[in-house]
Each structure stands twice: as C-alpha cells, then as structure tokens.
Chain A
C-alpha cells in the first residue's frame, strides 16, 4: 500500500502538468522580486483573461492532437463566429438565439473539417488550412472587411461582467477545462481518442470507429473555437475580422508544451491550458522586466523546442537497446 502510494506520488511529481505548474510558481516568485506588480491580483487576472480564448480552443485542440489530427482553421473559425454573432445582434436577433446560431456555424465548420479528414481521408493540415482561407474569405465579404461595432449592452455584459471581481469568461474557461480534463482522463468514450491516435489501424481492428471518434473531435474543436469567438466578441464589445491569424499555431504550441504530440496518442487538457498559461506568464514577465518585445518570440520558440527535446530524450531513455537505424 505504502509502496504503491509512493509510486503514485512519483508519477504525479514527474507528470508534465506538475512540472509546468511548479515552473509557473517558481517563475512567478522570481519575477515578483524584480517587479512586485507581477503577483498583484489585477495582473494575475489580466494574464488569465488574456488566455481565455486560447485556453478554450486548446481544450478541443489537445483532443484533436491526441487522436492524431489538428485543426489550423480554429483562429478564423473563432473570428467568423464573432462576426456572425455580432451581425445577428446588430440586426436585432435576441442574444441567446444569436449565440446558439453562431455556435452552430462553428460546429458546422468543425464537422466539415472532420468529414473531409476522417471520412474521405484528406490530410488534416492541408484541409484545415484551406478551410481557414475559405472562412476568412466569406467573413471578409460578410463584414465588408470592417469590424462590427454597436453591440447590445446585454451581450457585452457576458464578456465584461464580473462575479466577485472576476470576469465571466474566466469562469467559463475554468469550468470547461475542469470538466473536459476529468472526462478525457476517465471517460471510457473519450479514451477511444487516445487509442485512435496511438494506432489507428489497431483501434479499427479492436472495434473502435476511428472515423467517428475523429469526426466528433473535430466537431467539438469547432465548438470550442466558436465559444472562444463569442466570448472574445462580447469582451471586446465588437467583432474584428483581423483576429485569429496566429491562434492555431499558438494553441498547438501550448498543447505541445503541455505534453501533447503531433504523432497523436498523448496530451491532457490540463497540460494544454497550463502550457498556454506558461506562455502568457512568460510574455508578461518579459514585458514587466522591460525585455525587448522581439525577444518574446525567441523565448516562445526556444521553449517549444525544449519541450519536444525533453520528450525525445525521455523516450530514448525509456526504450531498450540501441536503434540500428
């Protein structure tokens, strides 16, 4: 009993999530010595609110990566959903109806990606890249290339309102992350995602409908992108057509820092969100320490490479014998 308990502790302490969380704490304490503002509640909240968009999308993306796929259209899907919800509200549609309709569009885009990738077997990178361009085109036509403003107060309240001093979107993200993380870890249906991503052929022979698993995961990722879009538009009080350009790659970066792999079969929701938080803390810290802003890109890139380097090294250590090729 004692032995298995200590084993459990070891596995928790060596998990990617724990290491990331520990790094976050250590980094925060160190930075707060140089810049006491860093650990003020205002700064902490501003860092967290900044990752709500990427954090929500990462929930879907990490599942997609776990089943061996990816979605590069999430950024434009998010922007498009924002434009649609804004247009609907400006034209007088009730807020609730507008949100549901725009989320449906986002889900539809996810389903479209999923259909082409899992049913037809097209490459996810290319398909979703193409989809991203298509969405952007439609969006620019719809919005006439301009941001949409003049949203109703009740809609803005959703993104800007506070409970106990904390903005609603933060609650939405935390709720989504906690539920999705627990389900992805423990639910037998979602476990199929890992099997499909680790070895799709074996999963098929084992009676798992890989096509369906991937399709649903694409749909859910579309939903997450849509939710992020609605939250973003209501927080800003307007829908911009220029956002989302780098969202997909930022989110994938966060997922991989959090332990996911482009080869599939790995990754957790908590890890992905901690990855996003880590990147946000890093850039805030560099700002507060008045490091040249261009170095932030370098830092992000270096950490990404470091993350996969650690992965590769630990794989090598685990494998027995020497690779001949």
Chain B
C-alpha cells in the first residue's frame, strides 16, 4: 500500500508551552488513523500543522513521499489534504450545491455561474454518498450530521485524498453516526485516508485501523486497534489508570418510594407532545433519543424557556413555573448542552460567572454585592469542583472545555437544586474530567436529589443511570429499567415511530 502521509520529528512551540514535541508517524492509503488524547494533549496543533494552518518549528511533512512545505489551508487542499473542523463552515442561508462548490462554481466565459451544471454535479455527488437531498435545499434546513457529511463531500470533490476529521460525531445522534461511518468505510475502500480525532473510544474501535495516543505534546503510543483495549487507551491518554469511569457508587444512596419530580402532559407546538415521566429522589434517570426527538426542547419546556402546556410536580405537589425565573426559584436546574452558546459568560471571569446564580446570597441587606463574599464563594467552588485555574479572576473563555464544564456545574450546583437536569454532561471534554463529572452526579443523587441526564452517548447513559426514558418523535416511547439495560433495548424505543426525513 502506498504511503499517503509521513511526518518526522514535528515540533511546535508556543510561548511557554511545547504543544507538539517530536512526533513522527505515517499513514497509508485507505487507512483510518485515530488520533487520541486529552484536551490540550496537542491533537489539534498536530492536525493544524498537517492541514497547513500552523507551521511547525521543526520537522518535516511528507505527502506521497514528497516533502511538503504547507503555507496555508488552501495550499494543503491543493496538495490533497483537507480538515473538517468541529465548528462547521457551511453557509446556512445558501443551497447545498453552492456550499459544496463554494468559490469553485462552474462558470461560463463571462464568469457567470452555470447553475444547471452546478446542481447536476452536486446531485451526482450526493447520490454517491447515499444522500437523498435536493441540491437546492438550504443548508440550515439540514441536520448537523448531514452538514458534516457535506464538508466531507466538499473535500472529496476538491480531490483531497487525506481528510482530517475533528470530533465529527460530537453532536450527532446514532443514526447519523452510522451514515457517517458507512461513508467513511466506502471512501476508505476507494483509497481515501482519514485522521480521526475523537473522545469517543467506542467509535475508535469500530471505525479506526490504528490509533496513536498523545499526551502533553508527545506521542505516547501507537497500536493497531486489534491489539489494544479501550481501558489501555484510557490509561495511555490519562497517564494513570481510571478504575471507575462512571464514578464510584456512593454507599448511602437510596432511591425514594415516590416521585420527587414529575412531568405530566408536557406539550409545545411542533416541538414535543404529551411528555410524561417521573424521577424518584436519589435516582438518576437518563433521557435517550435520536437527534430531533425533542429531548433538549422538552427540558427547556420544563423550565418554561418557551410557551408550553402541561404540569410539573415536585414531591407530589403542583409546581407553577411560568418563567425560567420560577424554575430557578423552585430549585429546578437545567444545565445546557451548549455551554459556550447559552451556558457561560465567556468574556467574564470565573467569579463573575459563579456570581450569576448567587446575586442574592452574595449581597448585603441593601442589595449591594459584597466583593469579599463573592471571592470567598468563588474560591470555595473552584476548590470543590477542582477547576484548575491560576485565579478566580481568570476569563472563562481561556479555560479548557473540561474546566468550563466544571464551572458550569459549579454555577448550577451552587443553588443546591432539588431537581438537576443536565444536557450532554460530557460533550467535548476529556476522560479525566468525565469521570469527575459522573462522580459529581452520583454524589448529587446520594443527597436525595432527582437527577435527569440527557445524552446522545448511550454508553454514558447505560453507565450512570438507574433508568432510561426514551423519546422519539417528540414524545416518550418507553423506558428501560436497569435490569434490562442494553443498547438494543434503548435503540428499539428510539427508532419507534421515527422516520428521519430530510
């Protein structure tokens, strides 16, 4: 098999840190290489060098045996290397065809776009990717998973044979992940090579041929997937053994007889309808479902972020919630899946972020905020939640994803909610932080709180929940008890009465 890429002794230094330290590896045609490591291990810097965005301080990159000095992303693309970033670069207001052929539309001698040809070419490409989409469709109307595929299609149509995928499935539901995998496998057979960056180790085992693991800028392991287990990978990534990924079961956890929290007939037009479920005190209930099943929307409905009908009960009593303010007052916390978009104040310091839910507690009788109280509270939360930061005055945007997520949890757990709803608790964060967050959720349940975990990662739900409620098509299609836990049982309910249509 021909060699597509070889890097030798790559090194990249930033002021104060060696992001990539003497990394060498190679990649053959038709091979999927998983690039693994915790946040900050140097995966993105390494891939940025390969796709021309960053220049190495030393070391060489060889493409098809020839040494390549890549000056820009465009340069790399012309040499057949493309990267699909986590943040998609599609223009939502434009059609699929215009996005795929952005800046390369077929034109006539006057420079006018030949629309017919543009749409025809796109239609053929889509067909080869088993996508039944009209090329005229506006990209914003498509699910994220399809948009992600369009990025790959664009790379392929530009003649790129090496495609770097950065967390391609982080916001996809299972059916879309399968579609993505099917296409990756097909392209692999045609000789395309992939570098696959992810935090989801179970995916690595299904899609990758080989893994390389990075830690603190260095490559600490290279193995074929046949010769390594998930646990070995984790140990390599973290540098120590994590015994209990899903947290230790607290000794004193008891699940109450009655529901501590109940949702009855929750409905909102075009989002979800007739949602019913309950959570016992001390219980962790998972909400599973495909993307578009209405899970996040339903949770937002509970706290009345939009107009909806239905009843919320707390300890058997009806709880009137007419605004998000009411929800907070009643001790219902909803921790968002989108911490950057609508969870945190990235321009503000850690202490200011923690302050937002404690305005009352941290001020005096006249309604004036007390600096000493704010600092003491922030210091305590930073310690309790093991947020690693030089100072409580650090701007939040400068923290790693895991630390941001811990900060978000610290903000919400600070109000000591009775009902704790958390949406995608570990999206985009590394294994070490994941284990800590699972432990926090279990400890919360030990205190008798009702915990609801919404997640697209089934292994996560199966690992920490006592019961899983499954949604499909905007309503609850059933639930799976711990004794009956299996991926099939959940997926069966998730697919029920659900036909994904684009």
B136 within 8 A of A: no
Least Cβ distance of B218 to chain A in Å? Answer: 19
A198 at the interface (CB under 8 A from B): yes
Contact in complex: A320, B398 (CB < 8 Å): yes
Decide: A187 and B369 in contact? CB cutoff 8 A.
yes
Known contacts A187-B369, A191-B359, A201-B342; 15 additional CB pairs below 8 A are: A186-B369, A188-B368, A188-B369, A189-B367, A194-B348, A198-B347, A199-B346, A202-B344, A202-B345, A207-B323, A207-B325, A265-B345, A265-B347, A322-B54, A324-B85
A111 to B367 alpha-carbon distance, docked (Å): 25
**B348 proximity list for chain A (CB < 8 A):** 194, 198, 265
Of the candidates A201, A206, A321, A322, which one forms a contact with B328 in the assembled complex, judged by CB atoms under 8 Å apart? A206
Considering only CB atoms and an 8 Å cut-off, how many residues of chain B contact the other chain? 38
On whether the beta carbons of A318 and B398 are closer than 8 Å, the reply is yes
Residue A203 interfacial (CB < 8 Å): yes
Check: B357 CB closer than 8 A to any chain A CB. Answer: yes
Partner-A contacts on B (CB < 8 A): 14, 48, 53-54, 85, 89, 303, 305, 323-325, 327-329, 334, 336, 341-348, 355-357, 359-360, 362-363, 367-369, 395, 397-398, 411
Report whether A319 and B397 are in contact in the complex, using a CB–CB cutoff of 8 Å: yes
Expressed in whole angstroms, the minimum distance between the Cβ of B397 and any Cβ of chain A is 7
Q: CB distance B85 to A205 under 8 Å?
A: no
Is the CB–CB distance between A207 and B329 below 8 Å?
Answer: yes
Bound form: Cα–Cα A75–B53 in Å: 49
Please tell me if the beta carbons of A195 and B356 are within 8 angstroms of each other in the complex: yes
Q: Is the CB of B369 within 8 A of A199?
A: no
Nearest chain B CB to A27 CB, angstrom units: 30
By beta carbon, the residue of chain B nearest A204 is B324
- The verdict on A288 contacting chain B, using a C-beta distance below 8 Å, is no
Closest 8 pairs (CB-CB, A-B)? A207-B328, A201-B342, A188-B359, A188-B363, A198-B345, A207-B325, A186-B368, A202-B342
Q: Does A209 contact B (CB under 8 A)?
A: yes
Does chain B have a CB within 8 A of A192?
Answer: yes
Residue of A191, A205, A321 near B369 (CB, 8 A) is A191
Chain A residues 266 to 325 lying within 8 A of chain B, measured CB to CB, are 266, 318-322, 324-325
Closest to A4 in B: B375
Closest to B45 in A: A321
Closest A residue to B19 by beta carbon equals A321
B305 contacts across to A, CB distance below 8 A: 204-205
Contacts of A206 in B (CB 8 A): 324, 328, 356-357, 411
Q: A191-B359, A192-B359 are in contact. Are A207 and B324 (CB under 8 A)?
A: yes
Q: A198-B345, A201-B341, A205-B334 are in contact. Are A187 and B327 (CB under 8 A)?
A: no
Q: How far is the CB of A324 from chain B (nearest CB, A)?
A: 6
Whether B345 contacts A199 by the Cβ 8 Å rule is yes
Q: List 19 A-B contacts (CB under 8 A).
A: A186-B369, A188-B359, A189-B367, A191-B369, A192-B359, A194-B348, A195-B356, A199-B345, A199-B346, A202-B343, A205-B324, A205-B334, A206-B324, A206-B356, A209-B325, A318-B395, A318-B398, A319-B397, A325-B89
- The interface residues of chain A lying within 8 Å CB-to-CB of B359 are 188-189, 191-192
A208 CA / B303 CA spacing, docked (Å): 12
Q: Which residues on B sit within 8 Å (CB–CB) of A318?
A: 395, 398
List the B residue with the shortest CB-CB distance to A206.
Answer: B356
CA distance A159 to B369 in the complex (A): 36
A204–B328 CA distance with the chains assembled, in angstroms = 11
Q: Once the chains are docked, how many angstroms separate the CA of A270 from the CA of B47?
A: 47
Per the bound structure, the CA–CA distance linking A290 and B395 in Å amounts to: 46
Contact: A187 with B367, CB < 8 Å?
yes
Shortest CB-to-CB span from B15 to chain A, Å, is 10
A207-B329, A209-B325 given; A324·B368 CB < 8 A: no
- Nearest Cβ in chain A — how far from B381, in angstroms? 15
Q: How many angstroms from the CA of A206 to the CA of B54 in the assembled complex?
A: 38
Bound Cα distance A322, B48 (Å): 11
CA distance A215 to B355 in the complex (A): 23
| In the complex, residue of chain A having the shortest beta-carbon distance to the beta carbon of B358 | A188
For B325, what are the chain A residues with a Cβ–Cβ distance below 8 Å? 207-209
Shortest beta-carbon distance from B357 to chain A in Å: 6
Chain B, Cβ-Cβ closest to A182: B368
Q: How far is the CA of A187 from the CA of B355 in the complex (A)?
A: 13
Contact for B344 among A194, A199, A208, A324, CB less than 8 A:
A199
Give A203 to B348 CA distance when docked, in angstroms.
13
Q: Which residues of A contact B357 (CB under 8 A)?
A: 206-207
Bound-complex Cα distance A268 to B305 (A): 30
